[in-house]
Amino acid sequence: MGVTTGAWAEPDPAGRLERVRSWATLPVLPDHASVNWHEEGAEEIAAVLLELGVGVEAGIWSGTDGAERFAVSPLGPRVLRVLAEVTDVDAEGAVSSARALLSDIGAAHGRPVLLHGEGGGAWPVVRFAGRLGVDTRVGLEDVLVLPDGRWAGSNAALVSAGLAEYAQGAL
């Protein structure tokens, strides 16, 4: 099970860090937590998570300094994977943004990369991930419509469409 440590969950960096520290008293911890490297306090939160034995998924968003900060992080080699988040919701620009983001991430400290987009950029990024053969994800957090524009009735419908789109990109 994975959880977020994103600023939208707790805007104050000190408060976010204190909340993560309080997990030490929980009987069960998440398997991993996403840490957005461009957010203030990311390095400290990642360090506490690792001390607690919680895996870290490094969220690197396009259009931020997250890739640069992650590249020099001594914790980079210890993360589970890099979640490359393409924030360009324009279908035309999403693949260009994905290319730039992957270039910025570079070798990612040798960690696996999961590439995904959102909104109008979700499906082009899924196909691009298929073309590159890299991991991706799709779900209601990322997009609410199927590739043909119809509303998705469920996460299962999105996953089914995602598998088809990924395979189409790989052709």
CATH number for the segment(s) 2-170 = 3.20.20.70
Residue 142: burial class (beta carbons within 10 Å; 0-12, 13-18, 19+): buried
Is residue 101 a contact partner of residue 60, using CB atoms and an 8 Å limit? yes
CA distance 42 to 64: 13
Is residue 114 a contact partner of residue 134, using CB atoms and an 8 Å limit? yes
Element (H, E) at 3: strand 2-4
At 101 the pLDDT is 98
pTM value? 0.92
**pLDDT averaged per 10 residues, the chain (length 171):** 94 96 96 98 97 98 97 97 96 96 96 96 97 95 95 96 94 79
**Residue for token pair 């099970």:** 1
Contacts of 85 (CB under 8 A, 6+ apart): 59, 60, 61, 62, 101, 116, 117, 118
At 170 the pLDDT is 86
Domain boundaries, the chain: 2-170
What phi, psi does 10 have (nearest 5°)? -155, 100
At 171 the pLDDT is 79
